[in-house]
Structures are given as C-alpha cells and as structure tokens.
Copies of this chain bind each other. A is one copy, B any other.
Amino acid sequence: MEFQLNDCYKHQFTVTPDVYSHFQMCSNDRNPLHTDEEFARAKGFPEKVMYGNILNAFVSYFIGECLPTKEVIIHSQEIAFKNPVFMNEKLDFEARVSSIYEAVNAIEFKYKFIKPDGKIAAKGLIQIGLLK
C-alpha cells in the first residue's frame, strides 16, 4: 500500500491566462462573471472571477500526476467554493489522506486550495480507487 493515513501532499497551482482560455474552450462556458470585467464589478468583485471548475481540473492533475502511483481512478469528488479566485493568483494546494479502505482499494483525501492572502479558495474531498 503506497498510502498511509495523514500522508500530506502539496502543490502550487496558478490560473494563468492559458489555463483560463483552455478551460473556456473545453467548457464553452462564457458566463459574464468569468468573461466580462464590468459585469463582475457590478456584482461586487474587483475583476473577472475565475471558473471554479478550473480548480477541479487541478484536482485531476493532483490525482493523475502527484501521487506515488499512476494506477488510480477517481470515484467521487466534492468541492465547496469559499472565496473567489482571480487571474494569476498562486494557489497553495494541500491534500491529506483522510481514510483508507483497504478491502476495496480506495483512498479518501481532504484537500484545500489557499489563496495568497491565506484565505481558503475551496476545499473538499476526493475518493479514488487503486487500479489493480
């Protein structure tokens, strides 16, 4: 078993203009909150709010690329968005092994994305399966 309870993983992610634009083309979501500076300001934000689901794309990278094994598949995910993320912010990602289900080869992580000012951007749970 490559995982132990409370194992902690860290990575830094940035919503660069490239990440933003690939997400936009992937999703085809052009909601004005994410694309129209004036609309975002009228709603009380200092600038365009980044798509929350870009953070789920970062979760995909974490599971696919940052673990001690590549033989994994995601079973389920939860995310709660706590504070908006803006272009070029560096997000500190931390995930901790919160449960191990050895009988079914599954691992649960608790994770959070932290903004440069220390506030939580988002947090949640990921359950993965280990592929035999």
The residues of A with any CB-CB pair to B shorter than 8 Å are 18-19, 22-23, 25-34, 43, 49, 51-54, 56-61, 63-65, 70-81, 124, 131-132
Contacts and interface: CB of A to CB of B under 8 A. Distances in A.
Count of identical protomers in the assembly: 2
A38 B49 CA distance: 39
A46 to B, nearest CB: 15
11 contacts: A23-B57, A26-B54, A28-B61, A29-B64, A31-B64, A31-B65, A33-B64, A51-B60, A53-B57, A57-B57, A77-B77
Nearest to A62: B29
A17 to B, nearest CB: 12
Contacts of A77: 52-53, 56, 77-79
A53 B43 contact: no
Contact of A80 (B28, B53, B76): B76
Nearest to A43: B131
Contacts of A61: 27-29
A6 B52 CA distance: 25
A47 to B, nearest CB: 14
Contacts of A59: 53
Contacts of A75: 80-81
